[in-house]
Amino acid sequence: MKTNISLILTFALLSLFSSSTHAKHNNIKSRGTPVNNNTNNQQKNGISKPCQTYYSANTPHAVCDGDRSVMCLAGCTGGVVVQNCQSNSSSPLTTETCSVAFSQTSEAAYLCNTPQGAYTCQGPQSGGVVCHNCVSTPNGVLPSNNSSSTSNTPGHSSSNSTNEHDQQGKTLCN
């Protein structure tokens, strides 16, 4: 009888110890999960910031101030408004809201991209954009946009209202 009581107590203690150890391991796992989730949330919830120049503002890989090491996953809102714009040298002067891209090509000239096309502008500019959910880009590389490329050279894309452009408005190599 004494042996049976000893065995029962031994199994009870082992069972208690086992469940206590299991609970501690679960606690460690649950503490580790939020740390990883916080890292992921930081990637999903980046910062919003105003930008002087920008491109691909209407996409989930907008670039602010030419910094390719940061990508704004929620695009940009607003747009620089520029006067005295032309789509070509013989077109009439217009005022455009640059909701896709905006950059300064010289002291008095700007490149403005809208959903309707690309414009060279000479006039005064006002307004601006705020780009949202801006996060560090792995290896400083943006997703390629080769599917909409009109160039015959792989990795090159012409500047237009949907493709990225550099600050000079020339063809970009990705």
> Contact, 121 vs 83, CB < 8 A?
yes
pLDDT of residue 62: 96
Q: Which residue has the higher pLDDT, 165 or 115?
A: 115
Looking at every residue in the chain, the average pLDDT score rounds to 69
Amino acid at 124: P
Q: Which residue has the higher pLDDT, 174 or 65?
A: 65
pLDDT of residue 29: 35
Question: How much is the average pLDDT of 16-32?
Answer: 37
Identify the band that residue 13 occupies on the pLDDT scale cut at 50, 70 and 90.
very low
> What does 81-97 look like in DSSP terms, one character per residue?
EEEEEESSTTSPPEEEE
φ, ψ of residue 169 to 5 degrees: the values are 75, 15
Identify the band that residue 147 occupies on the pLDDT scale cut at 50, 70 and 90.
very low
The span from the CA of 127 to the CA of 102, in Å, is 11
Q: DSSP strand E in 115-164: where?
A: 117-121, 125-136, 156-157
Domain boundaries, the chain: 47-140+154-161
pLDDT of residue 137: 83
pLDDT(110) > 90? yes
> What does 9-63 look like in DSSP terms, one character per residue?
HHHHHHHHHHHHHHHHHHHHHHHHHHHHHHHHHHHHS-EEEEESSEESTTSTTBE
pLDDT of residue 143: 53
pLDDT of residue 141: 62
> Tokens 């959910």 map to which residue?
133
Model pTM above 0.75: no
The span from the CA of 122 to the CA of 108, in Å, is 6
Percent of the chain with pLDDT over 90: 49
Per-residue pLDDT tens over the stretch 45-62 = 799 999 999 999 999 999
